[in-house]
Amino acid sequence: MAFPSDATLADVGEFALIDALAAHFPTAEHVLVGPGDDAALLRIRTGHVVVSTDLMVEGRHFRREWVSGEDVGHRAAAQNLSDINAMGGRAHSLTVGLAAPADLPASWALGLAAGIAEECATVGATVVGGDLTRADQVVVSVTVLGSCTVAPVLRSGASPGDVLALAGRQGWAAGGLAVLGRGFRSPRALVEAYRRPAPPYDAGPLAAQAGATAMIDVSDGLLAEVGHLARGSGVTIDVGTDALDVPEPLHAVAAATGADPVSFVLTGGDDHALLATFAADAELPEGFRVIGRVGEVAADDPDPVLVTVDGAPYEGAPGWTHF
């Protein structure tokens, strides 16, 4: 369905917009009832059902002058698909809630749908329902469902002696955000990384099959997520900076902003790289590289430091927090 290029959501109307949005999302063999009824009906065959929900709020997670509707669609889908990946599973279905001002261009909302559909297609998932309402700012809420064909990998399984490994690019989106925040658009590779993440979607199931003991995706900062693994597993984890990949564009941004290029990798989020722990003698799946070691919490330490960098506590925030 085509709308005039200058049409707003108020011009189009709720139900015409819903029909236009739904047209972006193909059906799939596991979808018995998709968009258009009170709820979707899915066929689940074997394994575990995995569910996750994330929000994206205008002004908090994105600014419309920095990203297009299609970009936001990619980002909203990616952060949810990555959560299923981090359990060792594969996403298959999403529901999307959109709250938006009446004067939002309809083309922006359709771009959002296109971006979500394109990102979902990379893992074979589809949108099966959602909701639409009016609000003072754009809010996108996505719930994703997936399945694990092997035992899901939790945050709580790491043991002393394990290695910590990383798959996917890390720090790129943080570098892009730093660039956009200063009113620039280059290095373009970093800006595009912020606008459209590239999570290693195949890495999660591969890690699970290879015996990963714990796993998490990097949404809010590498050290912050390492902290979640350490607390969940009751261990210490040391990250070695000499094992981290710090690409040249991050060095360029660091030089321009006076930042430490390694800090983008250690504390940046939104790339949705994958962290996993493995037994020290395990053969790592393709795409993973060892960046740290898991240790034991001293029994006589009342306030242990669970995460260290090069053997010492990290001075600074480990990542993003909302409150």
Binding site residue list for substrate:
61, 270, 320
Q: CA separation (Å) from 9 to 37, 68, 169, 305?
A: 22, 16, 37, 51
**CA-closest candidate to residue 250, choices 200, 176, 143:** 176
By CB atoms closer than 10 A (0-12, 13-18, 19+), residue 258 is exposed
SS3 250: helix
Based on DSSP, count helices (H) and strands (E) in the chain, helices before strands: 10, 12
Closest CA to 218 of 170, 279, 253, 182: 170
Q: Report which of 200, 37, 48, 23 is spatially closest to residue 127, judged by C-alpha positions.
A: 23
CB count in 10 Å sphere of residue 1: 12
* Residue pointed to by tokens 């009906």: 41
- Cite the annotated binding site for Mg(2+) by residue number: 38, 52-54, 83, 131, 217, 220
Provide the annotated binding site.
38, 52-54, 61, 83, 130-131, 155, 217, 219-220, 270, 320
d(CA 100, CA 98): 6
d(CA 244, CA 170) in angstroms, rounded, equals 9
Binding residues for ATP: 130-131, 155, 219
If we measure between CA atoms, which residue out of 168, 140, 178 comes closest to residue 260?
Answer: 178
Distance CA 39, CA 33 (A): 8
Q: Helix 69-85 crosses helix 106-121 at what angle (to 10 degrees)?
A: 30
> What phi and psi, each to the nearest 5 degrees, are found at residue 254?
-60, -40
Contact present, 258 and 205 (Cβ < 8 Å): no
